[in-house]
Amino acid sequence: MGRDDVLPVLYDLVVTIGSEISVKPLLTRTLQRLLYHTSFSAGFICLDVSPCEHEGGVVEVHLDAAVGDFDLIGEIGKPIHLPCALICRSAGREDEQAALLSALRCTQTQYKAYLRLPIDQCGVIVLLAAEIPETDLPLTTMLQPVLSHLAKAIVLCRSNDASTSVLVKQRDMLEQVFESSYSSVMITDDQGNIIEVNPAFTRITGYTLEEVRGRNPHCMASGRHDKQFYREMWSDITEAGHWEGEIWNRRKDGEVFPSWLSINQIRDKSGKLLHYVGTSSDITKRKEAEAQIHQLAFYDHLTQLPNRRLLVERLQQAFSVGTRSGQHGAVLFLDLDNFKTLNDTKGHDTGDQLLVEVAKRLDACVREGDTVARLGGDEFVVILESLSTTSDEAAAQADMVAEKIRDELSRPYQLSNHIHYSTPSIGVVLFRGNLQSLDDVLKYADTAMYQAKTAGRNTIRFYDPVMQAAIEARAELEEDLRHALERDQLRLYYQVQMDSRRRPFGAEVLLRWIHPERGLIPPAKFIPLAEETGLIVPIGLWVLQTACAQLRLWQSKELTRDLTLAVNVSAKQFRRPDFVKQVQRTLVESGARPALLKLELTESIVLENVEDTISKMRELKLLGVSFSMDDFGTGYSSLQYLKRLPLDQIKIDQSFVRDIASDPNDAAIVQTIIAMSEVMGLLVIAEGVETEEQREFLDLRGCHAFQGYLFGKPVPLEEFEVQLKGQ
Ligand code: C2E
Ligand code: MG
Ligand code: MG
């Protein structure tokens, strides 16, 4: 090979070297090129060859590349042992060469010559041939520029390899994380359309990448969150670049499940939005576990009712609610009578059956928000909340629930193969806010329950003896009231109503109960009870019928022909759908002139349901009946509704009349009521007028109708008629 032939070879080699970026192909290709252009037939390359110390010794080197038909190829990448001379010295005499080559384990006979080309500081190339090739120039000298170029390329490729391997490792690692992550990962483009999901995503949602690619994640929305939820989520993502929270999504099979989702924005260095990444984990199991733990910790496993721990928590809550609202609450402590006998004779399974049934019945007796708990054994506790602010009423309410519970629990039980009868003993204690301690309330209720047991079981006892007595008296009164009508114990009293010239123009009828033992009971004592029990309906009808009958009787007498009667109507009565019919029938049956009948309503009736009130009043007015607004000024006195009501008269409440002469405030109120009535074209009457001073004051201000002790107290009919004659 001459000098001119060498240049294209060098060029080819340089191009080969320059085109590689990784060490291994660089070495192999360079070696291939060298063998192609020379008459050598095989060769190998070792890098990082350390200088030999012993001429005849053996050196351990690393075989980095080998080309040709010889066994070293199998050794690439491994350390091998070679004669020092083959690696470290340039070619020597022919016999010497032969000796060296024979030292190469696998090629003793095939190769007769070799050429050693050092690659600067990097290593060495050894070319092997069967014959010594002929060249004009020593090849080593010719190849020198290429070898130093190769050395540089090796350095570059090595660092390239190093950084590539770091990147590859990193990429592999990230891919593994992505693939093996237990959390679902979803990547979208900057528009929020899915471009990548991992296997966990598919496992959790049921969707493969193909099924969701290009779609918006909203395709998995469960419908459990409103627009506001998503609006806030996106405002967090756009403002902070991040959102994290619990979200309900829908799997491919339609199942809705809870997951903990975190969404992040991915931006490039310039801040341009590239992706959104959503990582989430299915928290169904966690939620179930939480619920299970909660169930175990706070509920009785037999009846599924709250246990003592939850009871205490609920009671504490009830205390603080009561402190704020001023309303009473009650604790009912229940124990089943003779439960032990059932357990002993029929076995625990039967006992358990009874407890489960009792739990069900108890739950059905209370309102939502009330608590029924099982303390253990056959002891149950019920917490009633939001009872009245007054203790009397609250006690009555608690008593009503306790009665209901007693009735329910006393019904027969069907237990596996027999009918069982059971009764409870119930202790009741009222509480309001934090006035008593929690332990005390439970202790008192327990004590009251024992008192109930001592009193003969199947009994309700209040802890407070005063309250217990009141409840008993009330129960008695209620029982008596049920018979008051049939036993003819109710009477109407008549209180005269006067005009400004002291001429009677009518009366208000006021109910009295003449009790055989208690004597005369005023309406304030029994009307609330009648309203609660519904007895007001038949009683109210009786009042109406009696008043109308009286009007009819009066119609035939000169003196009484034009007298009007005002009848008080209670809310329960007025609200009945057949109230208008009742009045109409009563008028027809009695033959009373409707124009003489005046119905007194209170503000609370009206406010309860303004529309219903107006329509009923209109119907009755068509019959000729008139209306008065009783106790005016004590309610909300909203002029708004007053304007809409077809009223005839306003009755100034006696509480304003009482101090009219001394309290400028009351005087002002009364004056305003009168002026307002005038504007609205309504009549005014003042009730509770007791003194001449009050009468004069009212008269001067324009109120010309009066009712009060000054003119006459409510009296029985006979007395009233005598009074009339005396006028
Ligand atoms: P009301 O309709 O405001 O009746 C006026 C009350 O004031 C009557 O009390 C009457 O006796 C009393 N009163 C009258 N003049 C004076 C006075 O000069 N000074 C004082 N201090 N009081 C006077 P009563 O009869 O005890 O009735 C109380 C309330 O019971 C009535 O208030 C009414 O709301 C209700 N009521 C009475 N009868 C019936 C009825 O038949 N049905 C219904 N639903 N409620 C009735
Ligand atoms: Mg009245
Ligand atoms: Mg009144």
Given the structure tokens 């999504």, which residue do they identify? 249
What is the model's pLDDT at position 561?
A: 95
| Strand-pair category, 504-515 with 460-462 | unpaired
More confident position, 437 or 206: 206
Give the atom of ligand 1 at the shortest distance from the alpha carbon of 569: 44
DSSP per-residue letters across 164-221:
HHHHHHHHHHHHHHHHH-SSEEEEE-TTS-EEEE-HHHHHHH---HHHHTTS-GGGGB
At residue 502, the 3 state secondary structure works out as coil
Ligand 2 centroid, distance to 520 Cα (angstroms): 19
Residues 504 and 712: beta-carbon distance below 8 Å:
no
Please compute the mean of the pLDDT values over residues 275-281 and round it to a whole number.
94
Tens digits of per-residue pLDDT, 622-678? Answer: 999 999 999 887 766 566 677 789 999 999 999 889 999 888 888 888 888 898 888
CA gap 184, 218 in Å, rounded: 16
Closest residue (by CA) to atom 41 of ligand 1?
511
* pTM higher than the cut 0.75: no
Please compute the mean of the pLDDT values over residues 46-58 and round it to a whole number.
74
In 441-489, which ranges are E strands?
460-462
CA gap 621, 594 in Å, rounded: 9
Tens digits of per-residue pLDDT, 4-23? Answer: 777 888 888 889 898 888 99
Ligand 1 centroid, distance to 496 Cα (angstroms): 12
Closest residue (by CA) to atom 19 of ligand 1?
688
Give the atom of ligand 1 at the shortest distance from the alpha carbon of 714: 11
For residue 632, the ligand closest to its alpha carbon is 3
Give the atom of ligand 1 at the shortest distance from the alpha carbon of 495: 14
For residue 652, the ligand closest to its alpha carbon is 3
Tokens of 641: 């509704």
Contacts of 594 (CB under 8 A, 6+ apart): 587, 623, 624, 625
Q: How many residues does the chain have?
A: 727
Closest residue (by CA) to atom 22 of ligand 1?
688
Ligand 2 centroid, distance to 653 Cα (angstroms): 9
Closest alpha carbon to 404 in 362, 369, 444: 362
Ligand 3 centroid, distance to 592 Cα (angstroms): 24
Give the atom of ligand 1 at the shortest distance from the alpha carbon of 709: 18
Closest residue (by CA) to atom 11 of ligand 1?
714
Q: In which band, very low, low, confident or very high, does the pLDDT at 118 lie, cut at 50, 70 and 90?
A: confident
Ligand 2 centroid, distance to 654 Cα (angstroms): 11
Q: In what order do the strands lie in the sheet with 256-267?
A: 194-197, 184-188, 273-282, 256-267, 242-250
Burial class (CB in 10 A: 0-12, 13-18, 19+), 722: exposed
Closest residue (by CA) to atom 20 of ligand 1?
688
Mutation choice for ligand 1 from 514, 533, 568, 574, CB with most ligand atoms inside 8 A: 568
Tens digits of per-residue pLDDT, 327-355? Answer: 999 999 999 998 988 888 888 999 999 99
Ligand 1 centroid, distance to 510 Cα (angstroms): 6
| Strand-pair category, 123-129 with 113-119 | antiparallel
Ligand 2 centroid, distance to 483 Cα (angstroms): 25
Mutation choice for ligand 1 from 510, 693, 720, CB with most ligand atoms inside 8 A: 510
For residue 605, the ligand closest to its alpha carbon is 1
**Residue 591 — left, alpha, or beta (φ > 0 → left; ψ -120 to 50 → alpha)?**
left
What is the model's pLDDT at position 236?
A: 93
Tens digits of per-residue pLDDT, 529-549? Answer: 898 888 999 999 999 999 999
DSSP per-residue letters across 297-316:
HHB-TTT--B-HHHHHHHHH
Residues 505 and 563: beta-carbon distance below 8 Å:
yes
Give the atom of ligand 1 at the shortest distance from the alpha carbon of 573: 44
Element (H, E) at 8: helix 3-19
Report for 36-45, 161-170, 684-693: range of highest mean pLDDT:
684-693
Residues in contact with ligand 1 (CB, 6 Å cut-off): 495, 510-511, 522-524, 527, 540, 543, 568-570, 600, 630-631, 654, 687-690, 707-709, 714
Whole-Å CA distances, 99 to 88, 104, 378: 15, 9, 106
At residue 616's C-alpha, the angle toward residues 653 and 548, to 5°, is 70
The residues facing 153 across adjacent strands are none
Give the atom of ligand 1 at the shortest distance from the alpha carbon of 543: 41
Give the atom of ligand 1 at the shortest distance from the alpha carbon of 653: 3
For residue 635, the ligand closest to its alpha carbon is 3
At residue 131's C-alpha, the angle toward residues 69 and 54, to 5°, is 80
Domains of the chain by range and CATH?
A: 3-162 (3.30.450.40), 181-287 (3.30.450.20), 302-463 (3.30.70.270), 478-726 (3.20.20.450)
Tens digits of per-residue pLDDT, 228-274? Answer: 999 999 999 999 999 999 999 999 999 999 999 999 999 999 999 99
For residue 569, the ligand closest to its alpha carbon is 1
What is the model's pLDDT at position 107?
A: 45
Given the structure tokens 């070792």, which residue do they identify? 46
Tens digits of per-residue pLDDT, 591-609? Answer: 999 999 999 999 888 878 8
Q: In which band, very low, low, confident or very high, does the pLDDT at 610 lie, cut at 50, 70 and 90?
A: confident
Ligand 3 centroid, distance to 630 Cα (angstroms): 5
Number of other residues whose CB lies within 10 A of the CB of residue 532: 16
At residue 537, the 3 state secondary structure works out as helix
Closest residue (by CA) to atom 2 of ligand 1?
568
What is the model's pLDDT at position 54?
A: 62
For residue 509, the ligand closest to its alpha carbon is 1
Residue 72 half-sphere exposure toward CB, CA atoms < 13 A: 26
Residues 455 and 332: beta-carbon distance below 8 Å:
no
Ligand 2 centroid, distance to 568 Cα (angstroms): 5
The residues facing 381 across adjacent strands are 333, 373
Tens digits of per-residue pLDDT, 653-666? Answer: 998 899 998 888 88
Ligand 2 centroid, distance to 510 Cα (angstroms): 8
What is the model's pLDDT at position 91?
A: 54
Backbone angles phi, psi at 13, to 5 degrees: -65, -45
Whole-Å CA distances, 695 to 172, 668, 703: 102, 16, 9
Closest residue (by CA) to atom 43 of ligand 1?
568
Ligand 3 centroid, distance to 706 Cα (angstroms): 12
Q: In which band, very low, low, confident or very high, does the pLDDT at 553 lie, cut at 50, 70 and 90?
A: very high
Tokens of 148: 């130093």
What is the model's pLDDT at position 1?
A: 60
Please compute the mean of the pLDDT values over residues 392-404 and round it to a whole number.
93
Backbone angles phi, psi at 589, to 5 degrees: -65, -35
**Residue 377 — left, alpha, or beta (φ > 0 → left; ψ -120 to 50 → alpha)?**
left
Please compute the mean of the pLDDT values over residues 500-526 and round it to a whole number.
94
Ligand 1 centroid, distance to 625 Cα (angstroms): 21
Tokens of 150: 């190769």
Closest residue (by CA) to atom 13 of ligand 1?
688
Least confident of 116-130, 436-450, 466-480, 499-513: 466-480
